[in-house]
């Protein structure tokens, strides 16, 4: 038999095999650990949280109850803990917004023992991120002479399922805790499962994250920050391997606000809503185009397939959204789309996302056939909630109150097309149509609505108009 060929050296193995075979992660942990901080906050307790319940106090991460006590004693301060990551050499810390949202006092402790009072300078509740700045005083000025340790920024969109990663944080008050896992999924939208409504697609990891880990670092095997640990999903209250991090891409907008000394987050957008293409097409299907948005101005149309971003193949909508989050407002990008067998290139200028204010009307008039309805003018943000194309306009039913005149007739998402002979385009048209009806005093009125692909006509009796 021929002898077996010698095994190749570790340096020749694929990086994934090298990582799997390694017996230590200290080359990643040592520099990263120095830049992960513990955050301790104190906030006031709301009145409704005090009363006859037993008094309690915190010792580190543990909470102790003292039976009895004076019900009228002063409320105890709320104490909480979390983690943060130093991302710049001047000591700028990124953490979760929920860690500091209710804080009146913030103390940040580094692993080398240095501690600083800190203040929030930027908040991004939509992505559950916040930026903290150390407070410099005459007593601690000497601590600012040297540069602070920092973690190099990475990208969440470059993560692959199966990649090894490390979570570093203040788990249960145990500073500098490091846990290891893999990337379980990229692009999880967890609006229902998590208490905080995060609009960003999250990174899922099996690395253990517990109370106190929020705001800590999720790093890859290059020691780069790929996410900010934010939450877990658990049936028991403890970690079961379902942890989530905000991709590092979304820190870009926070850092831009810090540099501009603005509290408001300016978020890049290109003005499209996305969907999946039909098999076997690859890329992303353009579900809708926002009027006067960058995509419409460039010439992109609904039902186009987005194939490439700046010359690179687009794999899925979640990574594409993360890539857009990295772009500067006003910068140029190139999108390659497929339309009817053709491949077309479009140059876009990245715009600034400005959430439209939703125009709503609540009908309380008992004489109104729509009594009990909350109506809204179609806009991209409202349309998205009901699966309607972004650029569609008109008036839809947002909510119907139980036991109201409209209950049993109209459903949320119904598009009101006509009231009597009046075509409805805006909420103002609703008011005009109802005023016209009561002026002519008919006993019955026709209301036409579009419910999905079906046009329905209701014949509704008109009662006496309420004076309220």
- Which residue numbers are catalytic? 98, 128, 214
How long, in residues, is the chain? 468
Token pair for residue 292? 């006067």
The residues pairing with 39 across neighbouring beta strands, listed in sequence order, are 82, 108
- Kindly report the CA angle at 460 between 456 and 464, in degrees rounded to 5? 155
Tokens of 81: 């803990």
End-to-end CA, the chain: 99
Tokens matching residue 192: 């229902």
Please list the helix, strand and coil fractions of the chain in percent, rounded to the nearest 5, in that order: 20, 35, 45
The helix or strand, by DSSP H or E, that contains position 85, with its residue range, turns out to be strand 78-86
Q: Longest Cα pair distance anywhere in the chain, in angstroms?
A: 103
| Block residue for tokens 């700046």 | 310
* d(C-alpha 451, C-alpha 396), whole Å: 10
The contacts of residue 102 (CB under 8 Å, 6+ apart) are: 41, 43, 78, 80
Half-sphere exposure of 379 (CA within 13 A, CB side): 15
Q: Report d(CA 227, CA 87) in Å as an integer.
A: 12
Cα dihedral: 226, 228, 232, 238 (round 10): 100
Q: Which residues contact residue 89 at a Cβ distance below 8 angstroms, ignoring those fewer than 6 apart?
A: 147, 148, 150
- The phi and psi torsions of 296 (rounded to 5 degrees) equal -65, -40
Tokens 């810390």, residue located: 93
Q: Are strands 243-247 and 225-232 parallel, antiparallel or unpaired?
A: antiparallel
């Amino acid at each position: 038999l021929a002898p077996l060929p010698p095994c190749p050296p570790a340096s020749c193995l694929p990086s994934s095999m090298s990582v799997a075979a390694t017996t230590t992660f200290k080359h990643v942990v040592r520099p990263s650990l120095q830049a992960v901080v513990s955050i301790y906050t104190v906030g006031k307790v709301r009145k409704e949280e005090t009363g006859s319940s037993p008094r309690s106090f915190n010792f580190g991460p543990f909470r102790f109850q003292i039976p009895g006590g004076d019900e009228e004693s002063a409320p105890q301060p709320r104490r909480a803990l979390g983690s943060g990551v130093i991302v710049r050499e001047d000591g700028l810390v990124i953490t979760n917004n929920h860690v500091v949202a209710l804080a009146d006092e913030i103390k940040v402790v580094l692993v080398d023992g240095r501690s600083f009072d800190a203040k929030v300078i930027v908040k991004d509740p939509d992505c559950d991120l916040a930026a903290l700045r150390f407070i410099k005083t005459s007593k601690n000025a000497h601590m600012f002479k040297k540069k602070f340790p920092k973690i190099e920024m990475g990208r969440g969109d470059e993560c692959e399922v199966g990649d090894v990663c490390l979570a570093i944080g203040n788990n249960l008050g145990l500073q500098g805790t490091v846990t290891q896992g893999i990337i379980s999924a990229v692009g999880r939208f967890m609006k229902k499962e998590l208490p905080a409504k995060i609009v960003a697609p999250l990174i899922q990891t099996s690395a253990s994250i517990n109370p106190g880990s929020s705001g800590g670092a999720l790093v890859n095997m290059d020691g780069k920050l790929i996410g900010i640990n934010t939450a877990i999903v658990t049936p028991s209250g403890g970690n079961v391997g379902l942890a989530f991090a905000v991709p590092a891409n979304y820190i870009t907008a926070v850092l831009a606000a810090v540099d501009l000394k603005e509290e408001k987050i300016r978020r890049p957008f290109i003005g499209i809503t996305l969907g999946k293409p039909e098999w076997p097409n690859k890329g992303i299907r353009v579900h809708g185009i926002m009027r006067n948005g960058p995509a419409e101005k460039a010439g992109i149309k609904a039902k186009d397939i987005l194939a490439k971003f700046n010359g690179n193949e687009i794999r899925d909508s979640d990574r594409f959204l993360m890539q857009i989050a990295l772009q500067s407002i006003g910068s140029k990008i190139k999108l390659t789309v497929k339309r009817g067998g053709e491949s077309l290139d479009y140059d876009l200028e990245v715009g600034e996302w400005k959430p439209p204010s939703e125009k709503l009307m609540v009908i309380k008039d008992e004489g109104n056939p729509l009594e009990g309805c909350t109506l809204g003018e179609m806009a991209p943000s409202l349309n998205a909630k009901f699966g309607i194309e972004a650029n569609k306009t008109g008036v839809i039913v947002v909510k119907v109150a139980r036991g109201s005149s409209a209950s049993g007739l109209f459903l949320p998402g119904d598009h009101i097309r006509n009231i009597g002979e009046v075509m409805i385009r805006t909420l103002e048209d609703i008011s005009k149509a109802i005023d016209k009806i009561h002026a002519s005093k008919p006993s019955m009125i026709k209301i036409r609505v579009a419910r999905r692909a079906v046009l329905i006509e209701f014949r509704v009796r008109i009662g006496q108009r309420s004076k309220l």
